[in-house]
Amino acid sequence: MLKLVDLSRTDLNLLVLFEVVLDERHVGRAADRLKLSPSAVSHGLGRLRRLLNDPLFLKTPKGVVPTARAVELSAPIAELLARVRSVISTAEPFDPASSARRFTIGAPDGVSAVFLPPLLDELRRTAPSIDLGVRQLLPVPGETSPERAWRNAFTDLEDRAMDIAVVPSDHIPARFHSRGLYEEDFVVAMRAGHPFAVDPTPERYCEMQHLVVSLTGDPHGFVDEALAKQGYSRRVALTVPNFMFALAAIAETDLISALPRRFVAIHAAHFGVVTVEAPLPLPRFRLNAVAPKVAMMDTGLAWLFGILGKGAAVRIEAG
């Protein structure tokens, strides 16, 4: 016969402690976030381990790592806490003006550089005590399938490693809520006075030395796929790990690079970089904000999701 658990003897705050330790992977940081002492967090973990009959978190030189059981429990605990928060929020509505919550948004760096300025401006005006963390998202190395390239972002959302992801993909699993923020295409960026700007033909494009943004250093990208379809190839002379580094590099060299149009429009002037239209068709991407549907029951998260979309729309209209 199934043994019923006496919830009256169970401190549900332990589940919140579990969530924060899982997110931070560090007892000290979890203690700071919970406004507890490290010893109180350690004591709570001891109670939680006895309750769930598993070590849950194992010590490492850099913090703690979850056990297989903790990973297995992460999704149902996150769902349970989201439902509890939703119930509580109906009694005490989320107020951005007084809230001191912290949210984490994940996005590729060329994307966060577009939506972050208007979002920060909106937070400054309407929610001055809310803090943000921004994580850089990267596609799975070597993965060419759009359905699977951003699968790690969906896993991190369900693991509560972040609250919202912004990904350049329309392949969103049904268990997630999504909203289109804007569409992005690519232009060719270079230093002011670069000779390519005078005659930007496909042939001259292929004669240039190119820079590609690639965290892994892999020089092959979607531009090479587009070139190959028309019988062209190019030389990639340099790869760099992010888009800001790309702007700094092309500003001081004869390298050229295909970069996101909206990102360049916002930041190119700071580097003295100019752009021309690509001399061949390049892919367009829709940027979608994504969060688990169950997490959207959290009125605070739903509010942030809404102003994220509003801020992106304002930025695009202004641009």
pLDDT at position 2: 37
pLDDT at position 318: 44
pLDDT at position 89: 58
**Could you tell me which residues are beta bridge partners of residue 167?**
288
- Number of Cβ within 10 Å of residue 129's Cβ equals 12
Q: What is the CA radius of gyration of the chain?
A: 23
Domains of the chain: 7-91 (1.10.10.10), 102-179+285-318 (3.40.190.10), 186-277 (3.40.190.10)
pLDDT at position 310: 75
pLDDT in tens, the chain (319 residues): 334 455 666 777 889 999 999 999 999 999 999 989 999 999 999 999 998 899 999 999 999 999 999 999 998 898 888 877 766 655 567 899 998 889 999 999 889 999 999 999 999 999 999 999 999 988 877 666 666 778 899 999 988 889 999 999 898 989 999 999 999 999 999 999 999 999 999 999 999 999 999 888 888 888 998 899 999 999 999 999 999 999 999 999 999 999 999 999 999 999 999 999 999 988 888 999 999 998 998 889 999 999 997 755 544 444 4
pLDDT at position 4: 47
Please name the helix (run of DSSP H) or strand (run of DSSP E) that holds residue 125, with its range, or none.
helix 109-126
- Here the tokens at position 154 are 């969906």
Spatial distance between the Cα atoms of 160 and 145, rounded to a whole number of angstroms = 25
Identify the residue whose tokens are 């992005």.
Answer: 184
Spatial distance between the Cα atoms of 208 and 206, rounded to a whole number of angstroms = 5
Please name the helix (run of DSSP H) or strand (run of DSSP E) that holds residue 165, with its range, or none.
strand 164-167
Cα–Cα distances in angstroms (integers) from residue 25 to residues 19, 147, 165, 201, in the given order: 10, 29, 20, 51
User: Any idea what the Cα angle at residue 17 is, between residues 15 and 19, rounded to 5°?
Assistant: 70
Q: Characterize 206-226 residue by residue with b for buried, 16 or more Cβ atoms within 10 angstroms of its Cβ, and e for exposed.
A: bebebbbbbeeeebeeebbeb
> Is 148 exposed, middle or buried, given 0-12, 13-18 or 19+ CB atoms closer than 10 A?
middle
- Here the tokens at position 242 are 């992010």
For the CA atoms of 270, 288, 238, 152, what is the dihedral angle to 10 degrees?
130
pLDDT at position 3: 47
pLDDT at position 319: 46
Q: Characterize 41-74 residue by residue with b for buried, 16 or more Cβ atoms within 10 angstroms of its Cβ, and e for exposed.
A: beebbeebbebbebebbeeeeebbebeeebeebb
pLDDT at position 190: 97
pLDDT at position 317: 46
**Could you tell me which residues are beta bridge partners of residue 236?**
210
pLDDT at position 253: 96
**Could you tell me which residues are beta bridge partners of residue 281?**
none
| Angle separating helix axes 38-52 and 13-24, nearest 10 degrees | 110
**Could you tell me which residues are beta bridge partners of residue 40?**
none
